[in-house]
Structure 1
Amino acid sequence: MERIDVQLGERSYPIVIAPGLLSSGEQWIRRLKASRMLVVTNDVVAPLYLQATRRLLEAGGKRVDELILPDGEQHKTLATLDSIFSHALSQDLGRDCALVALGGGVIGDMTGFAAACYQRGVDFIQIPTTLLAQVDSSVGGKTAVNHPLGKNMIGAFHQPVLVMMDTSTLSTLPEREFAAGMAEVIKYGVLWDAKFFHWLEVNALALKSQQSAALAYAIRRCCEIKAEVVAQDEREQGVRALLNLGHTFGHAIEAEQGYGVWLHGEAVAAGMMQASQLSEALGWLPGEQVARIRQLLLAFDLPVCGPKGMSADEYLPHMRRDKKSLDGQIRLVLPREIGRAEVVSSVSEPQLRAFLARV
């Protein structure tokens, strides 16, 4: 069992990583103050892991309610959020309850946002079952729903009290979802840790075949980086913005193509490649390193370009609404070298338009 602590003073919490946690982690549940818990999941994850989660929570001494939502990014909406509130109210859940997010990033984001809002804030627990959620979205307290005009534009910072990662759940993950999660893994190497990026290059085949030791190390290292960054900058006023590498282009792809058409990790992969190519065009990132990023993405069958025919006129409105933008000025996270990235606002819209016309 691995434990990583996110250090945020009185809001600090543990990330626990191990295979089989859903059947052996009740000691972590007993430590939580809530006596009633609402498990929020979706109709794909529920048949696989809902009963095991219920048994875990009950073994930890909790009363358990459950809510099963439809699966998919297209359901990450205010209407779905309202259904969580309605269910919690209908079950007379008070401020001493906790919401449990069982699933991937969509469930985690919505459940966390519901917990931030319900009765002005209740506890929540993350039990991520996808690679993308385990390495990224379940850690750090960013919660949100989508709007037709922009991804994750309505939300709150609300930290979980516990993150439990049962790595055994990845055995049921479809190949496409696993690959999408690897985009976020690669992102950490590009923006923060050159040694980790090299390790990913060397261990690509082991990871793709989901060898347990390699997978466990990758998850742990991503969580260590995320915990370090969040501890420095909880509300994304500085260094945490670097974790959005690939997301300004990627969110534009998701919103323009229709939520769920491209998986989030697929859009991040394409966006990371676009950010790398733009950095190269500006004379910052060496071409040899751009090629290495491209090859690592391709090793996991991830896209390395945006949707065919998507124009600058389709990208730019979404990019202007990006959460990093200030005073209407687009800010981008660009890699300066593998292992180091910067938030820049010096790229003008004409430059972006010319770049997008080429890629």
Structure 2
Amino acid sequence: MKEIFIDLKERSYKIQIDRGILFEIGKKLQEIGNYNKVVIITDKNVGSFYLKDLEETLLKENYLVYSVEIEAGEKSKNLNEAEKIYNKLIEFKITRGDLIITLGGGVVGDLGGFVASTFLRGIDFIQVPTSLLSQIDSSIGGKVAVDLASGKNMVGSFYQPKAVFIDPNLLNTLPTLYLHDGLGEAIKCSCIRDKNLFELFEKIKDDKEILERSEDIIEACCMVKKKVVENDEFDKGERMILNFGHTIGHSIEKNYHYETYTHGQCVSIGMCKITKASEKLGITEEGSFEKIKKVLEKFSLPTDDVLDKKIILDGISTDKKNFGTKINLIVLNKIGDGKILKIDSSDLEKYI
């Protein structure tokens, strides 16, 4: 088992990565808190594979177990869905001494974490991420949120889980599209902070090898996020480095109403667009764009899109990384070495 300690003082917790850990969660909860009722929030796709297994490991340890299943997909990550879950928690008579477990990908983790952070002004929750994207990114660091019609993750908070349990075996049932979706974020991690991980992606031949090396990939990405989050829990400075590819990517997602591309695909396009531009501007080491493009294309990730620049710029105007007339862009000095670049909003077009 691989174990990573996220050191945030009184909000500290462990990430445990182990094949088969799903079936040990009931026992592991006893090390975290004295809970009576446990509510599992999942989606119908993930629930069909793993809800029964998680319920059984909890029932074996005599927890009272309830579950809420939402429709799969980004469209469920909204305030209306959150209200439905609140009403279920009231129906189950959940108190601040009880626990929520989010079993699923980023949508379930973000929505379930947001509910946990706001119901009764906050109850404990644990992340059990089931997609590669959530295992390496969204389940770690305490960002929980829901979307508004005007943009993604516009309403949320920072609320750390009590633990994160990552079972790489759950990736075996993940559709290829969503395995590659997660690789978009994994490759991002390597670009900003881990050249060795990037070189591993250059050597890996196919999806079979990705699954075989998944524990190492997950650990490396979690280590990148650990260091950044510990230094900047509330996203005021260094943590923005994790947004490489996201400023453009979020705008593309929004303009396609979160339907045409997955999140990782949009990040992939965003990384390529900004690196191609920053290389031309002399900011990024020559050849970086082609190396990144080659790795992304190996895993069937898109590297460009036909959206007009003006449309992308309009989408960026509501981005959370804006500060008045300034905007923070993440660019690379070279692969493995990212930095935050504060520019005037009027200069943004140069980077798209």
SS at match of 2:300: coil
Q: Matches of 1:74 and 1:337 in 2, distance apart?
A: 36
Cα-to-partner distance string for 1:146-191 (whole Å, 9 max, x where unaligned): 1111111110000000101111110000000000100111011100
Q: Matches of 2:17 and 2:118 in 1, distance apart?
A: 28
| Counterpart in the other structure of 1:290 | 289
TM-score by length of 2: 0.96
Paired amino acid for 1:5: F
| Counterpart in the other structure of 2:19 | 19
Matches within 5 A, 1:80-229: 80-202=81-203, 204-205=204-205, 208-210=207-209, 212-229=211-228
Deviation of 1:355 after TM superposition, in Å, equals 5.2
Paired amino acid for 1:218: I
Deviation of 1:31 after TM superposition, in Å, equals 1.8
User: Can you give the 5+ residue segments of structure 2 that lack an aligned partner in the other structure?
Assistant: none
Query: Do the aligned partners of 2:19 and 2:169 also contact (CA within 8 Å) in 1?
Result: yes
Query: Do the aligned partners of 1:319 and 1:330 also contact (CA within 8 Å) in 2?
Result: no
Seen in structure 2, the aligned counterparts of structure 1 residues 99 and 235 have a Cα distance that, compared at 3 Å, is: same
Query: Do the aligned partners of 1:35 and 1:97 also contact (CA within 8 Å) in 2?
Result: yes
Cα-to-partner distance string for 1:7-30 (whole Å, 9 max, x where unaligned): 111111011111111123433112
| Counterpart in the other structure of 1:341 | 338
Q: Tell me, yes or no, if structure 1 residue 325 matches structure 2 residue 322.
A: yes
TM-score by length of 1: 0.94
Q: Matches of 2:18 and 2:107 in 1, distance apart?
A: 22
| Counterpart in the other structure of 2:52 | 51
Q: Tell me, yes or no, if structure 1 residue 35 matches structure 2 residue 32.
A: no
Deviation of 1:348 after TM superposition, in Å, equals 4.4
| Counterpart in the other structure of 1:315 | 312
Query: Do the aligned partners of 2:273 and 2:351 also contact (CA within 8 Å) in 1?
Result: no
Query: Do the aligned partners of 2:3 and 2:14 also contact (CA within 8 Å) in 1?
Result: yes
Aligned residues: 351
SS at match of 2:248: helix
Cα-to-partner distance string for 1:73-111 (whole Å, 9 max, x where unaligned): 122111111111111011111111111110000000000
CA RMSD of superposed structures (Å): 1.4
| Counterpart in the other structure of 1:299 | 298
Paired amino acid for 2:131: T
Paired amino acid for 2:331: L
Q: Tell me, yes or no, if structure 1 residue 278 matches structure 2 residue 277.
A: yes
SS at match of 2:81: helix
Q: Which moved more, 1:312-321 or 1:189-198?
A: 312-321
Query: Do the aligned partners of 1:113 and 1:156 also contact (CA within 8 Å) in 2?
Result: yes
SS at match of 1:252: helix
Cα-to-partner distance string for 1:267-312 (whole Å, 9 max, x where unaligned): 1111111121121122111331111111111111101013x2x122
| Counterpart in the other structure of 1:70 | 71
SS at match of 1:24: helix
SS at match of 1:38: strand
Paired amino acid for 1:318: G
| Counterpart in the other structure of 2:229 | 230
Seen in structure 2, the aligned counterparts of structure 1 residues 43 and 292 have a Cα distance that, compared at 3 Å, is: same
Deviation of 1:329 after TM superposition, in Å, equals 2.4
Q: Matches of 2:223 and 2:196 in 1, distance apart?
A: 14
Seen in structure 2, the aligned counterparts of structure 1 residues 247 and 355 have a Cα distance that, compared at 3 Å, is: closer
Paired amino acid for 1:281: K
Seen in structure 2, the aligned counterparts of structure 1 residues 289 and 354 have a Cα distance that, compared at 3 Å, is: closer
SS at match of 2:128: strand
SS at match of 1:234: coil
Instruction: Name the % identity.
Output: 33
Paired amino acid for 1:115: A
Q: Tell me, yes or no, if structure 1 residue 352 matches structure 2 residue 348.
A: yes
Cα-to-partner distance string for 1:102-144 (whole Å, 9 max, x where unaligned): 0000000000010000000011110000000001110000000
Deviation of 1:318 after TM superposition, in Å, equals 2.2
